[in-house]
Amino acid sequence: MADQKKLLRALAGEVQDTPPIWMMRQAGRYLPEYRATRAQAGDFLSLCYNPELAAEVTLQPIRRYGFDAAILFADILLVPQALGADLWFVTGEGPRLSTITDQAGFDALKPVEAIHDTLNPVYDTVRILSRDLPDDTTLIGFAGAPWTVATYMIAGRGTPDQGPAHLLRETNEPLFAALIDRLTDATIEYLSCQIDAGAEVVKIFDSWAGSLNGAAFQTYAVEPCRRITAEIKARHPGIPVIGFPREAGPAYEGFARATGVDCVALDNSVDPAWAATHVQRDGCVQGNLKSSHMVTGGQALIDDTRRIVDAFSKGPHIFNLGHGITPDADPENVQLMIDTVRGA
Ligand code: CP3
C-alpha cells in the first residue's frame, strides 16, 4: 500500500497482525506533563488557542507512548464560540455557554464565513503538528457532530438526557433544524481547513447520538454526518472520516453505509463479537475498551484488551477506548494496554 502509516492502512481496510492504537483524550489531565503545560497556559481555553502549547500537549502522549495517531488538541465547543456563543469552563463542573432557545438567539449567531476569525489558531496548531510529528504517526483532526454541539448550545451546559435540545426539537423544529444546518455548514468549513493545514483523517464526535432514536436519529445524527462526509470527500478526495455515534446501540449497524464514513468508532456498551459481525462487515471499526480499566489496571485490563483484539482480528480495526480516558487514570495502565495490544 502506497501509504505506510499503520492507522491509514487500517482505514483503507487492511487487516494487520496487530491493530494501530490511540486513545480518546490521550492528551489530558491524567498526564503530569499535560497538567504542567495547562498551568503554563493559564486555563483550558487559553491552551486550545495557543498553537505552540496546544501542539506541545498533542505531542506529549506520542513521546511517552508512541501511539499510532495524534489527535489535534482543541474542543468541540470552539465551533459554537466561533459562531458567537459565549463559552467558559467551570473547574470541576464542565462547559458553560450562552443559550439559544428562540429565533432571536439564532439570529444573533455569526455567519459560517466568520468562524475562521476565531479558529485560525487551531489551524496553526495543525500546521505545527504536521511538521513535528514522527513520520509514522497519523494526525487526526476533529469536530463535534451538529446534534451533540447543538445540545450544549441549547442547554448552555452538559445535560444528562439532553432534555432542552429535545424540547426545542419537538416544540420548534424549524428553528432546531436551522441550527443543525448552520452547524453542519460550519463543521464542513472547519474540518476542511484542518485538512488544508495537514490533518490526514477527521473524526466526527456525536457523543449524545444515543439519545436520538427512530426518525430523529436518521434526521439529526445520520443525515448531518452523511452531508459532512460527502462534502469532505468531494473537496479532499482520499481523506478518511471516522464517525462516532456514541451509544447508538443497534443503530451502529448500517451507520457506515448510511453516512459514507470509513470507520465507525464504538463505545464500550457494544459487544465486540456482535460488532465484528454487524458493523465491521462494512469496514474499519475503532474501539472499544472501557476507560475504567485505565484506573483499575491488572489482569482484567489484559483479559478485556485481548478479548477485543481477538474479536476484531479478522477485519480492519483501530484499537481505542470506548470513551475518553479520565483524569484519575494511572499512566502505567495505559502502557499495559499498549503492550497487551502489541503483544509485547
Ligand atoms: O482527545 C483528545 O485528546 C483531543 C482533544 C479533545 C478534547 N475534547 C480536550 C478536552 C477532544 C477530541 C474533545 C472532544 C469533546 N469535548 C467532546 C466529545 C467527546 C466526548 O468526550 O464525548 C465533548 C462532549 C467535549 C466537550 C467538553 N470539553 C466537556 C464536556 C468537557 C468537560 C468534561 C471534562 O472532561 O472535564 C471538556 C473539557 C476538555 N476537553 C478537557 C480536555 C482535555 C479537560 C479540560 C481540562 O484540562 O480541564
257 is a catalytic site residue: no
Rounded to whole angstroms, the maximal C-alpha distance in the chain is: 58
- Ligand 1, closest atom to CA 29? 47
- Containing 288, the helix (H) or strand (E) segment is strand 284-289
Domain 2-342 has CATH 1.20.1270.360: no
Contacts of 15 (CB under 8 A, 6+ apart): 313, 314, 315, 316, 317
Q: Say how many C-beta atoms besides its own lie within 10 A of residue 94's C-beta.
A: 11
For CA atoms 65, 66, 69, 72, give the dihedral sign.
positive
Cα–Cα distance for residue pair 187/147, rounded to 1 Å = 12
Pocket flag, ligand 1, residue 66 (CB < 6 Å):
no
The whole-model pTM stands at 0.97
Closest to 217 in 3D by CA, of 174, 189, 249: 249
User: Catalytic one among 9, 30, 34, 38?
Assistant: 38
- Ligand 1, closest atom to CA 48? 9
- Which three three-digit cell numbers place residue 51? 498553537
Contacts of 188 (CB under 8 A, 6+ apart): 227, 228, 231, 232
**Domains of the chain by residue range:** 2-342
Torsion of CA 81, 235, 57, 206, to 10 degrees: 60
Pocket flag, ligand 1, residue 47 (CB < 6 Å):
no
Q: What is the pLDDT of residue 3?
A: 61
Pocket flag, ligand 1, residue 28 (CB < 6 Å):
yes
Give the orientation angle of helix 223-235 with respect to helix 173-197, to 10 degrees: 30
Q: What is the pLDDT of residue 308?
A: 98
Cα–Cα distance for residue pair 255/126, rounded to 1 Å = 28
29 is a catalytic site residue: yes
Q: From atom 10 of ligand 1, which residue's Cα is the shortest distance away?
A: 75
Residue with cell 508512541: 66
Scanning 108-244, the segments in alpha helix (DSSP H) are 115-132, 146-155, 163-171, 173-197, 214-217, 223-235
For 35, what's the count of Cα atoms within 13 Å in the CB-facing half-sphere? 6
Give 10-residue mean pLDDT values along the chain (344 residues).
84 97 98 98 97 98 98 98 97 94 96 98 98 98 98 98 98 98 98 98 98 97 98 98 98 98 98 98 97 98 98 98 98 98 88
Pocket flag, ligand 1, residue 147 (CB < 6 Å):
no
Q: At CA 313, angle to CA 312 and CA 318, rounded to 5? A: 65
> Which amino acid makes up residue 344?
A
Cα–Cα distance for residue pair 88/70, rounded to 1 Å = 25
Give the residue, out of 48, 76, 247, with the most ligand 1 atoms within 8 A of its beta carbon, to mutate for a pocket test: 76
User: Catalytic one among 152, 190, 220, 252?
Assistant: 152
Q: What is the pLDDT of residue 7?
A: 98
Q: What is the pLDDT of residue 1?
A: 54
Q: What is the pLDDT of residue 140?
A: 98
Q: What is the pLDDT of residue 91?
A: 87
For CA atoms 280, 286, 292, 294, give the dihedral sign.
positive
Pocket flag, ligand 1, residue 25 (CB < 6 Å):
yes
User: Catalytic one among 75, 185, 206, 267?
Assistant: 75
